[in-house]
Structure 1
Amino acid sequence: MARSPQLPDRAKTWFSIIIGLLLIALFIGSFFSGRRAAQPKENETATVHEQRRDVHQYEAQPEPEEMVKNKPPITEESVSSAQAVLPDFLKAYVPFDSERPDAYLERSKPYITDSFYKQLSSFQRRGTLSRVKTEYVTAEWTPAELEADEQWYNVDVTVTHTDINGKNEDGLLLYVVLLKRADGKWKVDDVGIRPGSGAIPE
């Protein structure tokens, strides 16, 4: 009687080990090939970094042609009439006296918009321990941004500060001033301080 061929127990054990090792090798190989495919190539990495950098950079978008066409033109007359308000406003707004800290507000009223007057009225202007009085001397301005109904100017005002002991010191106040057309007249609608304001260096 013929015996059916059977593998010895030792061969079965080795065969099982080899099959197990092959399965483990296939699993590890597929795991690493999946990770390699998920990682970006060098070129792809550069593209991602460029895109991230572009997100944080501001580029002024060109205005649509319709908006440019609808904007009224800036005339020399509108620029000169707006600039004519600046010296009178600055002579009223800049001077300060700690004994009458709100005097500038009423002096400035004819040259400012109602909304800016309300804004200025909501806080009190104060001097410092070293400066109790400021006098206007002269001013120069340059246009920063001009539109038909809104104009921004950088204004440099030379002043004289007086301290608590009566000592005078020349100073330079750097403002940015917004002028708007209100009821057919140019009026100041905002004033901000530019960096660098203080005493004039000798």
Structure 2
Amino acid sequence: MILTSATMRSIFLTISPLFFFLLTILASTVTEPRPTPILIRHDNQSSDLVSAISDMRRESYYGFVTLLHILNDTDFFRSQEITFLMPNDEDISQADMTRESLETFILRHAIPAWLMINHMVRFPNKTLVPCSIPDRMFTITKSGGSGLFVNNARIVSPNICQNSRISCHGISNVITFNEDSFPKGRLSPKMLSSRINSSRH
């Protein structure tokens, strides 16, 4: 059977819409899926977290961002002000961590209050502030020309995060705790709150 040019043209016009429709369907199935937003929250802190993570990335604290991303399903800092103390990527890569201890690592590097550097420098030397791990305290030490220390770690990049609920500072080391971090005479929450809030005025 010999197809005339008119017959072939008719077949092409019939098939071509179906062909382009199939191409469209195929293209939609092979496109990259949209990435899941990091740290989705159903409260007002969601936008603060997105903003804070953007600020962390801008200053190349990718390791800390990765830890927060892995802990996407946690809510330990939900609905509260917080200050993150962030070691650099090299220090994080050398830290002794397991998947189960990631949350503890973040909590060991978090103050349950919003503290910018100008708040912290107003504290008296050796001020104790709460850690996000219960019954542990950070010691804020002023060391003259060496700057401000939180326990063993010096603040090297202050005020990285610029929003009203999440503050973050780059630090020189992974934070460790000594005997002073577990005070025998425990400060009451009221005293701690008063000490932190007094720095804002």
TM-score of the alignment, normalized to the shorter chain, above 0.5: no
Q: TM-score normalised to the size of structure 1?
A: 0.29
Q: TM-score normalised to the size of structure 2?
A: 0.29
**Structure with more of its chain in strand, by fraction:** 1
